[in-house]
Amino acid sequence: MKKYILSLAVLFALASCNKTIIEDEEIIPTHVLTKEQQEKLTPDEVIADLKAGNKDFVDDNLTVRNSTKLVREAALGQYPEAVVLSCLDSRVPVEDVFHKAIGEIFVARVAGNIVNHDILGSLEYACKVSGSKVVVVLGHEYCGAIKSSIEGVKLGNITTLLEKIDPAIIAAKQRFQGDATAKNPEFVDEVCKFNVFNSIEEIRRDSPILKEMEANNEIKIVGAVYDMKTGEVKFLDY
């Protein structure tokens, strides 16, 4: 029994020795984005900032932030620079992918990054009310919603959601040469891109508010795809 207790004591001692201690000087002294800072940003500057943040993520150059302090600072207001419409997929950690802290970006999630009235209302709130300068529609590789839609899955409310992806499948089939099935990763990637483009078109078509803001150069609506293998976000020409 004494040996057992002694062994536990040794293990606890070793665990304490191996504990990673982060010094204060290693923590980035960031502050939440203020209204004044947000207003000075242009859409192009925000896109460049998102690209730079993603490069940090790809290069594993992420910084340590005092999230508790940021939460307290953001309690009375938020002025994110962008809003990202992302898939529900748990493998796409949007804030980390763009190396963003609390209060820096809005994230709207729905399977297949599709657009509906609730999503449109959220995007309008982010841009028209809270002042975000960029809408990013973010698709990703190996998307389960895309695959399920290609396969024609029918299941409860999922059926209606997947039907929103059908126009992207039709468009992709018109241009894709090869095996147009969910078993072909290249075809799935092609549908993913067309689905991003389709979501952008729906935003412009069904949100007069965002369409007008984009026409007035107050915001930009852009598309991108997340590479699951490298972590890189590839912004699409559209």
Residue 99 lies in a domain: yes
pLDDT bucket at 65, cuts 50 / 70 / 90: low
pTM, entire model = 0.84
3-state class (DSSP) for residue 234: strand
- Residue range 154-158: average pLDDT? 97
Residue 151 lies in a domain: yes
Amino acid identity at 77: G
Where does residue 96 rank: exposed (0-12), middle (13-18), buried (19+ CB within 10 A)?
Answer: middle
pLDDT bucket at 4, cuts 50 / 70 / 90: very low
Specify the DSSP element, H or E, that contains 109.
Answer: strand 105-109
Residue 141 lies in a domain: yes
Number of domains in the chain: 1
Residue 212 tokens read as 């007008």
State the average pLDDT for the chain: 87
Residue 24 lies in a domain: no
Residue 164 tokens read as 């929103």
**Dihedral sign, Cα of residue 237, residue 80, residue 43, residue 118:** positive
Amino acid identity at 22: I
**pLDDT tens readout for residues 158-193:** 999 999 999 999 999 999 999 999 999 999 999 999
**pLDDT tens readout for residues 212-228:** 999 999 999 999 999 99
- Which comes out higher in pLDDT, residue 66 or 141? 141
Residue 29 lies in a domain: no
pLDDT bucket at 9, cuts 50 / 70 / 90: very low
**pLDDT tens readout for residues 110-145:** 999 999 999 999 999 999 999 999 999 999 999 999
Q: For residue 148, give the CATH number of its domain.
A: 3.40.1050.10
Domain that holds residue 56: 37-235
pLDDT at 101: 83
Residue 18 lies in a domain: no
Residue 16 has pLDDT above 50, yes or no: no
β-pair partners for 139: 225
Residue 147 tokens read as 């695959």
pLDDT bucket at 147, cuts 50 / 70 / 90: very high
Residue 213 lies in a domain: yes
**Dihedral sign, Cα of residue 96, residue 97, residue 99, residue 102:** negative
Residue 15 has pLDDT above 80, yes or no: no
pLDDT at 33: 80
3-state class (DSSP) for residue 64: strand
Residue 7 has pLDDT above 80, yes or no: no
